[in-house]
């Protein structure tokens, strides 16, 4: 989320002052309509002189507050503000309409992150510079009015206003004073708008009309006074509010709010979460991705019921773990409780003192042997080939394993983790292993597991990752002269990420490097920033985001297809290599995909990215015992309806082989390969 929060995560009724006027006849009736007085025979009540004067001059100041449940905004942003946002894009139903800097009015925002709330105030300019829109549908061409919503407006790329590379569009939906229907193309259905009229000759809708939509031909209308008016869309008809200071609540969209079932029983919370997932899971209808919901419920619900009957929090957590393991989707997951984490440590405490990796030819290679460990004492050597485990062919033995790190979106990533967890056991557990040392003959030995983690950690996706990372972006010039950027995370201060990334590019240009390497291998995602826009003048089109709609019973597109746009400041390097791997998830994959589309870029890796691509902000749950669980609800599709990146990932264009030479090397073979590409070796 950013100032383009509409891309990425309360019904408020104002107390109305009774309005009276001493005017009679047609003019008096018009003003009654404007003030929301619909009883034609109502007796006007005189207003105090001060209030009457305010009504004539209109609104001059906006204040308000908001609460939020998803604290992702305070992860991504550190410079908070609110803005009066021009809604011309919504009025014209043009999602690509960019808000010009002239029409932006910023306001002060005070955040209370501890209690997840904020307060704000905006002083309205005497003469706003928004776009006039004729919204009365009377068949005449009028000057029109300027229409605004108040919205949360953080700083993304280094300037307070949304302009240049920090684009925003006239259709905001997140923490705004207007309420949008996320299941009906973000049509406005309530809240408040701020309207400025240049004179007393303009009209504005007083209702949604028969189609239930705002700013369409069937809207009823009434005259609106000159100056600023706050329009309350929750009243029927709409109320036009004119006192000097108006309070407007900013609304967190219901769809984006965390689903909090933490105060419910185990069974009730499971049923509520399951019902939501069954209806809205992102990959419903996709063969191989949608679970058998009936069978899944029948299998997991008894576990939950037993946990509730025994008041056993560990058993409840294990039931949920079994639930998420039933998916083929790396975005389905839960945060371990301390007890579940203890169980994970127990399950992985012991090992046999060796680790294996599968080569391109399908064989399993011993890549690590613990000195003086069980395998070493049995004569196993690094470089041995394992062919059987406990009398079962190794491939079959691997396929039977349930890794604690599941689920995964790809079969190859599942197999990778199954091979790791195959060799975990409680200390004292015995297993027979058949292996062939380099130049030797097959032999079978019985090994006894001991308490050791070295072999397990050796084959972690993060084995070669930096031990300490203090910034989301690191960069330096390598000894060879090649520029190296490591994008550690997209889940951080987004402004800082952009600034550090561009600083790296500026540094490399000054030093005239022969090319750059962008390392995406250890980035678990966050918010995509489209950093590829620094390298190309072409728009990079991604997938179309879709969500399930209860109105149509189908997955419907939300907005336009996602895009990475060219940046105003661009940098050219003769050669670019992008490093990918299985620890690059979600937003990291979008970022890597963008880099892969830069002309001349080479994608280097032994594996593709994780192939875990979906939108998860609307599927966040709080469950009993402080368990947090997520299920993706938005999917990205290509024009032919196929999934974008999910289950496939960003594929290397230069694949580093998985063989004895590379898997037994003590060097970072992927980085070395990329360096050779840049240097033309």
Tell me the per-residue pLDDT of 148-188, one tens digit each, with 9 for 90 and over.
999 999 998 878 888 888 888 888 999 999 999 988 889 99
**pLDDT tens by residue, 306-350:** 999 999 999 999 999 999 999 999 999 999 999 999 999 999 999
**CB within 8 Å of 465: residues ≥ 6 apart:** 521, 522, 583
Residue 201 pLDDT exceeds 70? yes
Task: Report how far residue 487's alpha carbon sits from residue 581's, in angstroms, rounded to the nearest whole number.
Answer: 13
- pLDDT score recorded for residue 339: 93
Task: Report how far residue 431's alpha carbon sits from residue 446's, in angstroms, rounded to the nearest whole number.
Answer: 5
**pLDDT tens by residue, 208-227:** 999 999 999 999 999 999 99
**pLDDT tens by residue, 512-547:** 999 999 999 999 999 999 999 999 999 999 999 999
**pLDDT tens by residue, 92-112:** 999 889 999 888 999 999 999
233, with CB counted inside 10 A (0-12, 13-18, 19+), is buried
**pLDDT tens by residue, 576-617:** 999 999 999 999 999 999 999 999 999 999 999 999 999 999
- pLDDT score recorded for residue 153: 94
- pLDDT score recorded for residue 52: 52
The answer to whether the CB of 378 falls within 8 A of the CB of 392 is no
The per-residue pLDDT of the chain, averaged, comes to: 91
CA-closest candidate to residue 354, choices 329, 377, 376: 376
The answer to whether the CB of 583 falls within 8 A of the CB of 610 is yes
CA 276 to chain centre: 19
> Span 130-155, mean pLDDT?
93
Residue 43 pLDDT exceeds 80? no
CA 387 to chain centre: 42
- pLDDT score recorded for residue 159: 81
Residue listed under structure tokens 């068949």: 139
> Span 372-381, mean pLDDT?
98
Beta bridge partners of 487: 473
**pLDDT tens by residue, 456-496:** 999 999 998 988 889 999 999 999 999 999 999 999 999 99
Query: SS3 of 49, please?
Result: helix
CA 130 to chain centre: 30
With bands split at pLDDT 50, 70 and 90, how would you rate the model's confidence at 46?
low
> What is the dotted CATH code of the domain comprising 350-458?
2.30.42.10
- pLDDT score recorded for residue 393: 98
CA 357 to chain centre: 32
Beta bridge partners of 544: 637
What are the structural domain ranges in the chain?
Answer: 48-247, 266-347, 350-458, 473-679
DSSP label at residue 288: T
Query: Would you state the structure tokens that stand for residue 45, as one six-digit string?
Result: 């009540």
Beta bridge partners of 370: none
Bridge-based pairing state of the strands 442-448 and 430-436: antiparallel
If you count them, how many residues does the chain have?
Answer: 681
What percent of the chain clears pLDDT 70, i.e. is strictly above it? 92
Q: How much is the pTM?
A: 0.89
Bridge-based pairing state of the strands 61-67 and 82-86: unpaired
Calculate the alpha carbon distances from 309 to 145, 217, 304 in Å: 62, 59, 9
CA-closest candidate to residue 434, choices 400, 399, 392: 392
> What is the dotted CATH code of the domain comprising 473-679?
3.90.226.10
Dihedrals phi, psi of 635, to nearest 5 degrees? -120, 150
**pLDDT tens by residue, 227-282:** 999 999 999 999 999 999 999 999 999 988 999 999 999 999 999 999 999 999 99
202, with CB counted inside 10 A (0-12, 13-18, 19+), is buried
Calculate the alpha carbon distances from 247 to 66, 83, 150, 438, 651 in Å: 11, 14, 11, 77, 51
**pLDDT tens by residue, 75-93:** 999 999 999 999 999 999 9
Q: Which alpha helices (H) appear in 475-623, and where do they start and end?
A: 494-510, 587-596
With bands split at pLDDT 50, 70 and 90, how would you rate the model's confidence at 49?
low
Query: Would you state the structure tokens that stand for residue 415, as one six-digit string?
Result: 């197999």
With bands split at pLDDT 50, 70 and 90, how would you rate the model's confidence at 198?
very high
Residue 37 pLDDT exceeds 60? no
């Amino acid at each position: 989320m950013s100032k383009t929060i509409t891309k990425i995560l309360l019904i408020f009724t104002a107390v109305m002052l009774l309005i009276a006027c001493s005017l009679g006849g047609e003019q008096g009736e018009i003003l009654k309509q404007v003030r929301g007085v619909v009883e034609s025979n109502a007796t006007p009540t005189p207003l105090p002189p001060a209030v009457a004067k305010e009504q004539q001059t209109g609104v001059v100041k906006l204040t308000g507050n908001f609460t939020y449940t998803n604290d992702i905004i305070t992860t991504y942003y550190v410079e908070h503000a609110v803005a009066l946002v021009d809604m011309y894009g919504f009025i014209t139903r043009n999602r690509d309409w960019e808000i010009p800097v002239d029409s932006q009015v910023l306001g002060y925002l005070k955040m209370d992150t501890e209690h997840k709330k904020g307060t704000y105030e905006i002083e309205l300019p005497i003469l706003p510079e928004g776009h006039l829109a004729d919204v009365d549908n009377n068949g005449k061409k009028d000057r029109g009015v300027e229409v605004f919503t108040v919205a949360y407006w953080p700083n993304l790329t280094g300037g307070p206003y949304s302009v240049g590379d920090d684009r925003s569009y006239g259709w905001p939906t997140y923490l705004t004073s207007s309420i949008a229907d996320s299941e009906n193309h973000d049509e406005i259905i309530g809240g408040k708008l701020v309207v400025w009229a240049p004179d007393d000759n303009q009209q504005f809708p007083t209702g949604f009309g028969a189609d239930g939509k705002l700013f369409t031909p069937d809207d009823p209308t009434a005259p609106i006074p000159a100056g600023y008016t706050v329009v309350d869309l929750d009243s029927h008809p709409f109320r036009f509010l004119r006192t000097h200071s108006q309070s407007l609540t900013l609304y967190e969209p219901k769809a984006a709010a965390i689903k909090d079932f933490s105060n419910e029983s185990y069974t009730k919370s499971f049923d509520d979460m399951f019902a939501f997932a069954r209806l809205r899971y992102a990959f419903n209808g996709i063969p191989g991705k949608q679970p058998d919901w009936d069978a899944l419920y029948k299998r997991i619900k008894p576990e939950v019921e037993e946990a509730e009957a025994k008041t056993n929090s560990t058993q409840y957590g294990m039931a949920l773990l079994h639930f998420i393991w039933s998916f083929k989707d790396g975005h389905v997951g839960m945060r371990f409780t301390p007890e579940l984490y203890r169980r994970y440590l127990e399950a992985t405490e012991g090992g046999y003192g060796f680790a294996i990796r599968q080569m391109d030819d399908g064989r399993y290679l011993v890549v690590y042997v613990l000195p003086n460990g069980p395998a070493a004492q049995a004569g196993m050597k690094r470089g041995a080939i394992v062919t059987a485990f406990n009398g079962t062919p190794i491939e079959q033995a691997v396929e039977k394993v349930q890794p604690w790190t599941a689920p995964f979106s790809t079969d190859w990533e599942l197999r990778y983790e199954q091979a790791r967890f195959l060799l975990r056991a409680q200390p004292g557990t015995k297993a027979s292993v058949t292996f062939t040392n380099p130049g030797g003959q097959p032999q079978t030995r019985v090994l006894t597991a001991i308490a050791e983690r070295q072999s397990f950690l050796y084959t972690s996706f993060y084995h070669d990752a930096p031990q300490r990372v203090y910034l989301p972006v690191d960069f330096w010039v390598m000894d060879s002269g090649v520029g190296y950027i490591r994008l550690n995370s997209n889940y951080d201060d987004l402004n800082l990420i952009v600034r550090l990334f561009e600083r790296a590019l500026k540094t490399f240009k000054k030093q005239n490097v022969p090319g750059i390497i962008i390392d995406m291998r250890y980035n678990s995602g966050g918010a995509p920033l489209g950093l590829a826009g620094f390298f190309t003048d072409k728009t990079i089109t991604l997938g179309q985001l879709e969500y399930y709609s209860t109105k149509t019973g189908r997955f419907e597109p939300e907005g336009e297809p996602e895009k990475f746009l060219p940046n105003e400041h661009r940098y050219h390097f003769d050669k670019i290599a992008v490093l990918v791997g299985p620890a690059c998830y979600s937003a990291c994959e979008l970022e890597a995909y963008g880099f892969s589309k830069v002309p001349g870029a080479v994608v280097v890796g032994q594996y593709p990215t994780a192939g875990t691509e979906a939108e998860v902000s609307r599927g966040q749950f709080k469950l009993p015992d402080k368990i947090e669980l997520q299920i993706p609800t938005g999917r990205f599709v290509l024009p032919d309806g196929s999934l974008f990146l999910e289950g496939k990932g960003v594929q290397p264009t230069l694949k580093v082989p998985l063989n004895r030479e590379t898997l037994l090397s003590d060097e970072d073979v992927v980085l070395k390969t990329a360096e050779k590409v840049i240097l033309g070796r």
